[in-house]
Amino acid sequence: MNIVLASSDNIDPKDWVAPLAAALPEHHISLWQAGQARRDADIAVVWNPPPALFEQERALRLIFNLGAGVDALFRLPSLPANVPIVRLEDAGMAVQMAEYAVHALVRTARRFDVYEDQQRRGLWQPLPALDRAVWSVGVLGMGVMGARVAQMAAMLDYPVAGWSRSAKSVAGVRSYAGAAQFDDFLAQTRVLINTLPLTDETRHILNKETLRRLRPDAYVMNMGRGAHLVEADLLVLLDSGHLRGACLDVASIEPLPDDHPFWNHPRVTMTPHISAMSLRHESIAQVAAKVRRFQNGDALTGLVSRAQGY
C-alpha cells in the first residue's frame, strides 16, 4: 500500500518516515508535502495535516491521526466524509497524563507551592497535615486518558469521581454519566481535571456557570484543549477567590501570546501542551500493527465516531 505521512509541523523524514518504513517494509512510505505531485495514497498518517492533503489525495481508505484528539482534523473542510479515522490509543500517553495530573494535584493539596515560597523567604514552617477527604477529585472524560488519571488519584486515596457520556466501572472511582448527572458531579468536586475531547458538546464546558458549581477553594486542571475553557471566566473566578488555582497545559491560542495574563498570574501554572506527548516508537508500533490489521480486513480499535466527534 501507498502510505503518506503529513503534518503542518516540520517532520524530519529520518524521525518518522524511516522508522515507519522499517516497521512496514512491505509498504511504500513517503512524506507528503504541499505542492508535490499526487501520490494516490491509500493511507494518510497525520498530525495537523495541511488541508491540501485531502484536496489532492482522493483515494484514501484510512486516515491515522498521530494523537488522541481529532478536533483539528474535523476543522478541515477538505476532510473526506467517508474515510474511516483511527486515532492513537494511549501509546504511552496515558501514564504521562496521569503523572502530570498527580503532580499538580499533590502540589496543591500537600501545599508544595506554599513550601516553595516559604523556602524562598527562609521560613521553616510546617503546615497542617493533609486531610484527603476534603480534596475530592473529579475527572472530566473517562476514556483512555481520564481513566488512568482517575485510577492514579484513587491509588493515592483521594476521593475520586469521573464524568463521561456512558457510566463506567473503575475501582475506587465514582461514576457520573451524561448531562443529567453533570451538576451533581461538579458539586462534589474540588479538584477538577479535564481530559475531554473537544467537540461541539464540550466546547467552553469550563465556564463561570460550571466552575462556580465546584466546591469552594477549587483547583482546575485543563489537559484537554484550550477551547474547553472560557479563559476570561477562569481569571474572574481566580481573582474573586472561588478558585485557588489552575494548572493549564493547553490554551485557546497556542503558543500562548506574549501578552496573555496566564504568563504572570501568580495562581496559574502553564505548560506548553506537554502533559502527554506522542512517543515516536510507541506511535509507530501502533500504526504498523493497525495497518496490518486493516490490510487483513480485521476490525480496528480507536475508530473515531463522526457523529460524536471523538
Active site residues per annotation? 225, 273
86 binds, among ligand NDP, ligand OXD, none (CB under 5 to 8 A by kind): none
198 binds, among ligand OXD, ligand NDP, none (CB under 5 to 8 A by kind): ligand NDP
Distance between CA 267 and CA 254 in Å, rounded? 20
Return phi, psi of residue 303, to 5°. Answer: -70, 135
Which CB, 15 or 157, lies closer to ligand OXD?
15
- Placement of cell 458531579 in the chain: 185
Distance between CA 167 and CA 61 in Å, rounded? 33
310 binds, among ligand NDP, ligand OXD, none (CB under 5 to 8 A by kind): ligand NDP
Helix, strand, coil percentages in the chain from 3-state DSSP, rounded to 5: 35, 20, 50
260 binds, among ligand OXD, ligand NDP, none (CB under 5 to 8 A by kind): none
Which CB, 53 or 94, lies closer to ligand OXD?
94
Q: Using CB under 6 A, pick the residue from 3, 4, 53, 68 that binds ligand OXD.
A: 68
Gyration radius of the chain's alpha carbons? 21
Distance between CA 115 and CA 68 in Å, rounded? 35
Stretch in the footprint of ligand OXD (CB under 6 A) among 30-38, 62-70, 130-138, 210-218:
62-70
What end-to-end distance do the CA atoms of the chain give, in Å? 27
Which CB, 152 or 198, lies closer to ligand NDP?
198
**β 191-194/268-270 pair status:** unpaired
- Placement of cell 508535502 in the chain: 33
CB of 230 to ligand NDP, least distance (A): 17
Stretch in the footprint of ligand OXD (CB under 6 A) among 63-71, 94-102, 173-181, 300-308:
63-71
Which CB, 33 or 278, lies closer to ligand OXD?
278
Distance between CA 152 and CA 165 in Å, rounded? 21
Q: Using CB under 6 A, pick the residue from 19, 49, 50, 67 that binds ligand OXD.
A: 67
Which CB, 39 or 228, lies closer to ligand NDP?
228
Rounded to 10 deg, the angle between the 112-120 and 93-109 helix axes is 60
Interacting residue ranges for ligand OXD, rule: CB under 6 A: 67-69, 278
